[in-house]
Amino acid sequence: MTDDRRARIEADANRVLSPEEFEAALAVPPTPEEEAQRLELIRWFVRRYPRRSRRLCGGEPPRQGPAARLAYARRAAARIWRPR
């Protein structure tokens, strides 16, 4: 890529749009190729960065009620605020 082309791309990327230009850009629906690419990026991200509960449990996250969450919060607070 030449320096001239790089400079033009950078200028386009850093250009500030007017509100009318922005609204006009949002009004254009994505092409089927863009939509497919967007969905593929979402699938990749979900595979690459699974939720912690699914990563650790290998399936559905364990269901805990309010009492279990409160007990965990109390234990965590005790660890944090314990004098050393």
Whether 84 maps to a domain, the answer reads no
pTM of the model as a whole: 0.43
Whether 31 maps to a domain, the answer reads yes
Question: Domains in the chain: how many in total?
Answer: 1
Whether 68 maps to a domain, the answer reads no
> Residues in the chain, how many?
84
Q: What is the pLDDT of residues 20-67, one digit of tens each?
A: 999 999 999 999 999 999 999 999 988 887 766 555 655 555 667 888
Residue whose structure tokens are 């364990």: 62
Whether 3 maps to a domain, the answer reads no
Whether 71 maps to a domain, the answer reads no
Compute the distance between CA of residue 22 and CA of residue 39 in angstroms, rounded to an integer.
23
Q: Could you tell me if 53 and 61 are in contact, meaning their C-beta atoms sit under 8 angstroms apart?
A: yes
Whether 1 maps to a domain, the answer reads no
Whether 79 maps to a domain, the answer reads no
Cβ atoms < 10 Å from Cβ of 16: 6
Whether 67 maps to a domain, the answer reads no
Range of the domain at 19: 14-57
Q: Could you tell me if 69 and 62 are in contact, meaning their C-beta atoms sit under 8 angstroms apart?
A: no
